[in-house]
Structure 1
Amino acid sequence: MLDLHPGDAASAVWTLECTASPLAEGIDVKGPYVQGRPGQRFVYLVWGNVDPDGQFTMFRRAKLMFDGVDGQVLAEAVAAGRLVARLGLTDVKGLPLRAAVRPPLVTWSAESATGAGAGRA
């Protein structure tokens, strides 16, 4: 688990160290927080409660799906050093985002690894 953020925070940023490897059909992203098989990789965004003793209990999670990243954007991210995902953290009902998340719910972009960003692959 990485950096907990309050559910009502104005924004949240996580940086995940990943590696990218070429595949016949594109680029495979792997890392300690990346789940799934090649072509079906994702990162969980987990929602939960923290009790007074500091115990975390999950109640909902979303999958940020890498198969929704445009191949050109992913190639640019490999060259630049950072893949950034920007997304709202709630659904249309104002509840925590859940299920598989792909564009248009998430916008993927490439950024320089030395620049500011919201996430890295």
Structure 2
Amino acid sequence: MLIRIDAVDLPGRTRAAPADSDGPSYVDIHVAVQRRDRPAEVLEPQPGDAASATWTLQCTATSTPDGIEVTGPYVQDRLGRRFVYLSWGTVDDSGVFSMFRRAKLMLDAVPSDVLAAAAHDGLLVGRLGLTDSHGGPLCARVEPPHITWTAEPAGQDGLSPRLGAVRGSR
């Protein structure tokens, strides 16, 4: 099975410190999918001012007595809750990504009928906006209605019909 994340409404490449805080400012903001148990390894960083961002992740969907279990190199598993991390970070002049915030796309919040259909048809799609209510990068736990999950048929050979190829299936 594939998981495709379609993101829009990115917050921009810079973020000034809030006026009422001593918090940091950020420059050259990017967002990427974090590999499981490897916070420094991110997939396809996208600039924070992009019109949209899409990642496609290879995973495995297994039927269990409790429902469909999703695993893969980009699927996190903490205390039995599965999710995908979108990591926000800055990119320095040498291309090094330094994370400062993350969003958890909660897979256990996917409706069970949608997850079952995605496991059968081959593609689970999550669509969301990445700017929070204060104009900054979306963070914390992300569940419906802030993300919409749908099942779609995968193309021939398991490839994403929208992309024509699997990206990020390392």
| TM-score w.r.t. length of structure 2 | 0.66
The answer as to whether partners of 1:20 and 1:30 remain within 8 angstroms in 2 is yes
After superposition, the Cα gap between the structure-2 partners of 1:39 and 1:109, relative to the gap in structure 1 and judged at 3 Å, is farther
Question: Partner letter of residue 70 of structure 1?
Answer: P
Q: Counterpart of 2:100? A: 59
Aligned-residue offset at 1:14? 0.2
Following superposition, the deviation at residue 92 of structure 1 comes to 1.1
Cα RMSD between the aligned structures? 1.6
Which residue is equivalent to 2:76?
Answer: 35
Q: Which has the larger radius of gyration?
A: 2
Q: 5+ unaligned residues in a row in structure 2: which ranges?
A: 1-41, 156-160
Stretches of 4+ moved more than 2 A in 1?
none
How much identity, in percent, do the aligned residues show?
A: 59
Query: 1:53: Cα distance to partner?
Result: 1.0
Q: Which has the higher strand share?
A: 2
Note closer, same or farther for the CA distance 1:49–1:37 as it changes in structure 2 (3 Å cut).
closer
Q: Does 1:21 align with 2:67?
A: no
Q: TM-score, normalised by structure 1?
A: 0.92
Amino acid at match of 1:116: R
Matched ranges for 1:71-110 at <5 A = 71-110=112-151
CA distance in 1, matches of 2:132, 2:46: 18
Residue 8 of structure 1: which of 49, 52, 56 is its match?
A: 49
Contact 1:28/1:39 (<8 A) preserved: no
Match of 2:90 among 49, 72, 92: 49
Secondary structure of 1:44's aligned partner: strand
Gaps of 5+ in 1: none
1:63 Cα deviation after fit? 0.5
2:152 matched residue in structure 1: 111
Separation (CA, whole Å) in 1 of partners of 2:162 and 2:93: 34
Q: Please state whether the residue corresponding to 2:57 is helix, strand or coil.
A: coil
Instruction: Give the number of equivalent residue pairs.
Output: 118
